[in-house]
């Protein structure tokens, strides 16, 4: 049996092209940009990959981030949370418990919306807003 080496130690996906996470329920584009910048700054781009992703069918709980192979999901992530995710989880291997998203069942968990497009039943503040530096996501995988 041949053992294979992981191409990346950790792979981070951020919902940046769904209908809600990128700009309605928070700043998913900013989350992606900040994570990408911090991973580059930490000089671990050869071990950690941050990618844009489409909708995870968890709409209303986002911005959503998922990290593999850990299979750790984060909800209502702001650009301000990115540094803690990188430092604690991606570099230290210790997930950020306060952001963990652990729905009671597997599969889709899209929240219904009220007349103002507020997700009904959302636990986190809406929209998820940080006091980030205003950077927005740009091109790049």
> Should residue 56 be labelled a site residue for ligand FES when binding is judged by CB under 6 A?
yes
Residue in 31, 35, 64, 76 binding ligand FES, rule: CB under 6 A: 64
Q: Would you count residue 137 as binding ligand FES (CB under 6 A)?
A: no
Query: Residue 18 region, left (φ>0) first, then alpha (ψ -120 to 50), else beta?
Result: beta
Strand ranges of the sheet holding 48-53, from the earlier edge strand across to the other edge: 48-53, 10-15, 65-68, 72-74
Q: Which backbone phi and psi does 79 adopt, to 5 degrees?
A: -55, -30
Query: Residue 134 and residue 31: Cα distance in Å, rounded?
Result: 10
Q: Which of 10, 12, 13, 20 binds ligand FES (CB under 6 A)?
A: 20
Q: Which range in 39-47, 53-61, 75-83, 124-132 contacts ligand FES by CB under 6 A?
A: 53-61
Minimal CB distance to ligand FES: which residue?
A: 18
Q: Which residues bind ligand FES (CB under 6 A)?
A: 15, 18-21, 55-59, 62, 64
């Amino acid at each position: 049996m041949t053992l294979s080496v992981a191409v990346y130690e950790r792979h981070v996906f951020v919902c940046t092209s769904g209908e809600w996470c990128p700009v309605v329920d928070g700043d998913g584009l900013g989350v992606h940009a900040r994570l990408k910048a911090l991973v580059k700054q930490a000089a671990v781009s050869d071990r950690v990959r941050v990618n844009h992703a489409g909708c995870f069918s968890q709409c209303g709980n986002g911005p959503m981030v998922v990290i593999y192979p850990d299979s750790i999901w984060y909800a209502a992530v702001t650009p301000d949370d990115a540094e803690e995710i990188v430092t604690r989880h991606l570099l230290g291997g210790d997930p950020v418990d306060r952001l963990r998203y652990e729905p009671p069942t597997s599969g889709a968990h899209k929240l219904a919306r009220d007349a103002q497009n507020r997700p009904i039943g959302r636990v986190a503040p809406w929209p998820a807003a940080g006091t980030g530096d205003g950077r927005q996501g740009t091109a790049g995988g």
